[in-house]
């Protein structure tokens, strides 16, 4: 979390208007056994630190995703889709530190992953306007569901933000699907992936921002870095 806060502040100091972190940046996607231990309310201390940074330094931040404890969020007065369980949740804070958008991952990944066993899927894909730009959020595996992006376009988005934990060896899927979502919807798409290894599993990085023509505006390799566009 400290490293993420440092990166977020550095990006804002470099002129970024909105800073986006990857999926489960604080615990690591493949750390399934740690999900419950790392979970907390989205009104809790961890995300509040990102909200405070946004307010102090005048930028927007999509706090990647974290493992949300739905019962703790409900106890804090947050509207939740279920009374208990865990969710894979992204929260967008504006320049005042207020929550503008909460997205809980709708398509949970199976195929040997424990996400489907440990998480509750979200039920909606909200949008928010920041600095005159309407954005929507999806997460990682959602990239494989074009109808979800079409719904965002119908809601008027200009840009889709996609925090992810996309692993090797599916590099070509990562490159192709993000670009395809941009082209078919004529919208900007920022696919924001983690990097690093978890035992035998490794994330492929390659965070990329596409314009509505599918042109790459900015991208990275598989090393930790900050991508701006």
- List, for residues 167-221, the tens digit of each pLDDT value: 999 999 999 999 999 999 999 999 999 999 988 899 999 999 999 999 999 999 9
Tell me the pTM: 0.96
Q: What would the pLDDT profile of 95-141 be if each residue is shown by its tens digit?
A: 999 999 999 999 999 887 899 999 999 999 999 999 999 999 999 99
pLDDT tens for each residue of 16-32: 999 999 999 999 999 99
Dihedral sign, CA of 17, 22, 28, 32? positive
Query: Could you tell me which residues are beta bridge partners of residue 210?
Result: 189, 216
The CA distances from residue 122 to 84, 115, 125, 138, 197, in Å, are: 13, 13, 8, 11, 27
Q: Catalogue all structural domains in the chain, each as residue range(s) with its CATH number.
A: 2-219 (3.60.110.10)
């Amino acid at each position: 979390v400290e490293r993420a806060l440092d990166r977020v502040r550095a990006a804002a100091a470099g002129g970024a208007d909105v800073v986006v972190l990857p999926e489960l940046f604080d615990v690591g996607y493949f750390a399934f056994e740690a999900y419950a231990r790392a979970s907390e309310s989205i009104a809790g201390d961890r995300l509040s630190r990102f909200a405070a940074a946004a307010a102090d330094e005048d930028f927007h931040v999509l706090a990647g995703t974290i493992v949300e404890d739905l019962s703790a969020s409900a106890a804090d007065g947050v509207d939740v889709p279920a009374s208990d369980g865990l969710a894979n949740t992204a929260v967008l804070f504006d320049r005042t530190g207020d929550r503008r958008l909460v997205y809980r991952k709708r398509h949970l990944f199976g195929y040997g992953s424990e996400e489907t066993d440990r998480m509750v899927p979200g039920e909606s894909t909200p949008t928010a306007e920041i600095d005159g730009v309407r954005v929507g959020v999806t997460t990682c595996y959602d990239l494989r569901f074009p109808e979800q992006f079409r719904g965002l376009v119908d809601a008027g988005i200009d840009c889709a933000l996609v925090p992810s934990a996309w692993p090797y060896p599916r590099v070509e899927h990562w490159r192709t699907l993000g670009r395809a979502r941009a082209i078919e919807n004529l919208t900007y798409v920022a696919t924001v992936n983690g990097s690093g290894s978890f035992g035998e599993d490794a994330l492929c990085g390659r965070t990329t921002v596409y314009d509505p023509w599918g042109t790459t505006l900015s991208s990275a390799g598989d090393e930790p870095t900050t991508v701006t566009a």
